[in-house]
Amino acid sequence: MSGFVNFSSDDEDANLEYLYNIGLSHAKRGNPRDAIFYFDKVLDVEPNHFDALANKGNALGKLGKYDQAIICYDTILKDKPDHAVCLLNKGLALHYLGRYDQAITCYDKILSSTPDNPNVLYHKACTKSLQNDIDQSLMLLEKAILLDSEYAVKASMDKDFANLGNNPRFKSLTL
């Protein structure tokens, strides 16, 4: 009789999901390093576990490791080029790296299929503001606010719009 336990693929799947869920739990509690540890355990066994990759990218982003986060998102986007969450998060990472044109390309890809996505419109407005494309930024921000008024409050406190603080149109949108 052998001392080895023969695990079925169902057992391995259950173990991977268990490790993934521990990673999610750490991510939700604001422990990105611990989350990455568990997502990496999953990815060691299943390198294309898209949920683990996406959440690892998010955790890396929380640590300011945007280039590494982009690698995670790009791995998913190779197989799922229209994955909106990955495109948005890749756009945000590119935005934080100051690669604004590339960020806008990500946002535009989402907007081509869902032109009324207020979250994407808002983030594109942020990027356009940092590019000093004031008219475009305000137009996008206005559209985002019309779709979801919460973005008016968010914009009023967002440092990406600091250059618009005295702009009357910006003030009227964010009051």
pLDDT digits (tens, 9 = 90+) for 102-161: 999 999 999 999 999 999 999 999 999 999 999 999 999 999 999 999 999 999 999 999
> Residue 6: pLDDT above 50?
no
Looking at residue 9, its pLDDT comes to 56
Q: Once rounded to an integer, what is the mean pLDDT over residues 84-91?
A: 97
> Residue 8: pLDDT above 50?
no
> Residue 5: pLDDT above 80?
no
Structural contact between residues 61 and 31, judged by C-beta atoms closer than 8 angstroms: no
Q: Once rounded to an integer, what is the mean pLDDT over residues 82-90?
A: 96
Looking at residue 47, its pLDDT comes to 94
pTM attached to this predicted model: 0.88
At 34-85, the pLDDT tens digits run: 999 999 999 999 999 999 999 999 999 999 999 999 999 999 999 999 999 9
> Residue 174: pLDDT above 90?
yes
Looking at residue 11, its pLDDT comes to 67
Tokens coding 161: 């719009």
- Packing angle, helices 150-157 and 134-147, rounded to 10: 140
Q: How far is CA 90 from CA 47, 68, 105, 169, in A?
A: 19, 10, 10, 30
Tell me which CATH code domain 8-98 carries: 1.25.40.10
Tokens coding 31: 């422990």
Looking at residue 175, its pLDDT comes to 83
Looking at residue 20, its pLDDT comes to 96
Distance, CA of 58 to CA of 93 (rounded, Å)? 9
Structural contact between residues 170 and 152, judged by C-beta atoms closer than 8 angstroms: no
Distance, CA of 80 to CA of 76 (rounded, Å)? 6
- 8-22, 60-74, 155-169: range with lowest mean pLDDT: 8-22
> Residue 10: pLDDT above 70?
no
Tokens coding 4: 């080895």
> Where exactly are the structural domains of the chain?
8-98, 116-175
